[in-house]
Amino acid sequence: MDALDTAKIKQTAWDKLDGKWSQAAVAVLVFMLISIVIDIPSAFFEKDSTGQNLWKIIETPFALGLDIGLYAYFLNFTRNKETPLKRLVVGFTSGWGFYFNLICTQILALLLICLWGLLLIVPGIMKAFSYSLIYFIILDHPEYSHFEVLQKSSNMMYGHRMELFVLCLRFIPWLLLGIVTCGIGFLWVCPYMTTAFCEFYQQLKAKNEDVPEVATLA
């Protein structure tokens, strides 16, 4: 199985952002502001109180809907498509069926990851990487059921989990840059990382188009 070149993926992401850094930074800023607004009610409760914990549970579905919007936005970047800001809220504007599928798939994935994690930490981490393509697959195949999304992600990531791990490691210096700039740098680091992950999916998808499916969630 041919390995993906993570250094090339990172460079391709940089090239696709050329001339679009300001647009990408604005999208991330809007994403962050919406995230802050969603979290505002938790500030009215005492720290670690029942009320605050309850709100954290309530806001999770909203956060998931927002997260997939961020990936949808930058997936358009990698595909050289028009990318309006409204793409950030695609999780909430694609119908209840899409949103329900997103929430249920994430809950099922989390449950399976936790079950594998009960065995040992490493299997749990490996399973998390296996399901790392969930957002992309739901965006490309909204007709898939929860199990079909997880199966597709697991099949595509088989033999490529280490490559995604290496790609994540390549961004450690950039994450540190975001920290030392008091978070301001994340307006550019986040688009870079997200575009790179989208490009990873794009290249992996191209490799798997003619590969037979393996019916397994392992």
Is the pLDDT reported for residue 211 higher than 50?
A: no
What one-character DSSP code corresponds to residue 66? H
Is the pLDDT reported for residue 217 higher than 60?
A: no
Is the pLDDT reported for residue 176 higher than 90?
A: yes
Contact 136, 201 (CB under 8 A): yes
Token pair, residue 50, equals 């029942």
Q: What does the pLDDT read at residue 1?
A: 58
Is the pLDDT reported for residue 134 higher than 50?
A: yes
Whether the model clears a pTM of 0.85, i.e. scores above it, the answer is yes
The number of beta carbons lying within 10 Å of the beta carbon of residue 181 is: 13
Q: 132-144 b/e with 16+ CB inside 10 Å = b?
A: bbbbbbbbeeeeb
Q: Mean pLDDT, the chain, as a whole number? A: 88
Residues 6 or more apart in contact with residue 71 via CB below 8 angstroms: 135, 136, 139, 194, 197, 198
Token pair, residue 39, equals 């979290």
Spatial separation of the C-alpha atoms in residues 80 and 82, rounded to whole Å: 7
Indicate the burial class of 76 (C-beta count within 10 angstroms; 0-12, 13-18, 19 or more): middle
**How do residues 144-171 score in pLDDT, each as one tens digit?**
999 999 999 999 999 999 999 999 999 9
Average pLDDT over residues 71-79: 92
Is the pLDDT reported for residue 215 higher than 80?
A: no
* Locus of tokens 């999770």: 60
Average pLDDT over residues 107-120: 87
Helix (H) or strand (E) segment spanning residue 204: helix 186-208
Spatial separation of the C-alpha atoms in residues 76 and 139, rounded to whole Å: 11
Token pair, residue 169, equals 């490691």
